[in-house]
């Protein structure tokens, strides 16, 4: 019997809240685990600032990390915790759902030369303009987005437009996934 490959997947969204990002994350990994259970073992990590139960049953392992319900503080704390988790799991497959603040995760990836896959659900630079974020915040988040895209083994996008953006800033590999066919990446 062949040993299963381990995939560690990270989301910065509280999957106890029923909204698009949570639904997408849970559906994606439930579907993947159901389809490829013989080859892969998935473990997810997410922050919880509501302390609510996950909105749907999962077919993969998932770990809740409690954080304070203070928006900027919780983002920094979960980023810091994810950095340690990814270091611990650096020999496995790591899959990150991009967030607008991933400084410690970025630092861990750089220092430990960790290979990872990156899911792109939007373009942070455009979000910063839409939400009129400050210059310093925009500078930092745009830098980390570009760094993470350029250094990922592959970027998995939720639209052709996002794939084009990733390719325009020199992603190593970027593709739009519409049919849950992730094994071509791993």
Q: For 122-177, how does the pLDDT look when each residue is reduced to its tens digit (9 = 90+)? A: 777 766 666 677 788 778 888 898 999 999 998 888 888 888 888 888 888 776 66
Under the banding of pLDDT at 50, 70 and 90, the label for residue 18 is very high
Indicate the pTM of the whole model. Answer: 0.89
Tell me the β-bridge partners of 71: none
pLDDT tens, position by position, 33-85: 999 999 999 999 999 999 999 999 999 999 999 999 998 899 999 999 999 99
**Beta carbons of 148 and 172 less than 8 angstroms apart:** no
CA distance from start to end of the chain? 19
**Beta carbons of 86 and 105 less than 8 angstroms apart:** yes
Where residue 44 falls (left for φ over 0; alpha for ψ -120 to 50; beta otherwise) is beta
Q: Which fold has domain 5-176?
A: Rossmann fold (3.40.50)
Buried b (16+ CB within 10 A) or exposed e, 33-72: beebeeebbbbbbbbbbeeeebeeebebebebeebeeeee
Q: What is the pLDDT of residue 127?
A: 65
Q: Per-domain residue ranges for the chain?
A: 5-176
């Amino acid at each position: 019997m062949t040993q299963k490959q381990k995939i560690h997947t990270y989301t910065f969204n509280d999957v106890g809240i029923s909204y698009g990002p949570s639904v997408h994350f849970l559906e994606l990994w439930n579907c993947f685990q159901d389809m490829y259970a013989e080859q892969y073992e998935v473990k997810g990590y997410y922050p919880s600032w509501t302390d609510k139960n996950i909105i749907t049953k999962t077919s993969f392992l998932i770990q809740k990390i409690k954080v304070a319900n203070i928006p900027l503080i919780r983002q920094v704390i979960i980023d810091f915790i994810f950095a340690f988790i990814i270091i611990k799991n650096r020999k496995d497959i790591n899959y990150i759902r991009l967030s607008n603040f991933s400084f410690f995760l970025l630092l861990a990836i750089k220092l430990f030369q960790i290979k990872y896959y990156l899911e792109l659900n939007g373009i942070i630079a455009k979000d910063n303009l839409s939400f009129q974020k400050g210059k310093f915040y925009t500078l930092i988040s745009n830098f980390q987005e570009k760094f993470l895209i350029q250094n990922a083994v592959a970027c998995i996008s939720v639209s052709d437009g996002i794939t084009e953006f990733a390719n325009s800033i020199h992603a190593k590999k970027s593709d739009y996934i519409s049919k849950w066919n992730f094994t071509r990446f791993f």
